[in-house]
Amino acid sequence: MQKDLLKLLDLTREDITKILNVADQMKYNQKHGLIHNYLQGKTLAMIFEKNSTRTRVSFEVGMYQLGGHALFLSGKESQIGRGEPIEDTARVLARYCDGIMIRTYRQEEVEELAKYASIPVINGLTDFAHPCQVLADLMTIREHMTRLEGLKLCFIGDGNNMANSLIVGGLKCGMDVSVACPEGYEPDQQVLDFAGTVTGAKFALCRDPLEAAEHADVVITDVWASMGQEEEKERRQKAFGGLYQVNEAVMAAARPGAMVQHCLPAHRGEEITTEVFEAHAGEIFDEAENRLHAQKAVLYLLMGEQV
Q: Is 263 annotated as a binding residue?
A: yes
Task: Name residues whose C-beta falls within 8 Å of residue 159's C-beta, 6 or more positions apart in sequence.
Answer: 179, 181, 185, 186, 187, 188
Cβ(118)–Cβ(183) under 8 Å?
no
| Catalytic member of 4, 65, 98, 133 | 133
Contact status, residue 103 vs residue 291, Cβ threshold 8 Å: no
Active-site annotation holder among 97, 222, 262, 293: 222
Residue 188 is among the residues annotated as catalytic for this protein: no
**Is 63 labelled a binding residue?**
no
Is 193 known to sit in a ligand binding site?
Answer: no
Catalytic (active site) residue 103? yes
Q: Which of 130, 236, 262, 293 is catalytic?
A: 130
Residue 95, annotated as binding a ligand:
no
Residue 91 assigned ligand-binding role: no
Residue 222 annotated in active site: yes
Euclidean distance between CA atoms 84 and 89, whole angstroms = 7
Catalytic, out of 263, 280, 286, 293: 263
- Residue 54, annotated ligand binder? yes
Cβ atoms within 10 Å of 27's Cβ, excluding its own? 19
291 annotated as belonging to a binding site for a ligand: yes
Q: Is 133 a residue of the active site?
A: yes
Q: Is 58 annotated as a binding residue?
A: no
Measured distance CA(70)–CA(57) in Å, rounded: 10
Cis before 209? omega within 30 = no
The answer to whether the annotation marks 130 as part of a ligand binding site is yes
Is 85 annotated in a binding site? The answer is: no
Q: What's the Cα-to-Cα distance from 146 to each of 143, 149, 150, 221, 288, rounded to whole Å?
A: 5, 10, 11, 21, 18
8 annotated binding-site participant: no
Is 264 annotated in some ligand binding site? Answer: yes
Which amino acid is residue 159, in one-letter code? G
Q: Is 158 a catalytic residue?
A: no
Q: Is 131 annotated as a binding residue?
A: yes
User: CA-CA distances (angstroms) from residue 42 to 26, 33, 39, 49, 97?
Assistant: 17, 21, 5, 23, 7
125 vs 142: CA distance, rounded Å: 22
Q: Which residues are catalytic?
A: 103, 130, 133, 222, 263, 291
Annotated binding site for carbamoyl phosphate: 52-55, 79, 103, 130-133, 263-264, 291
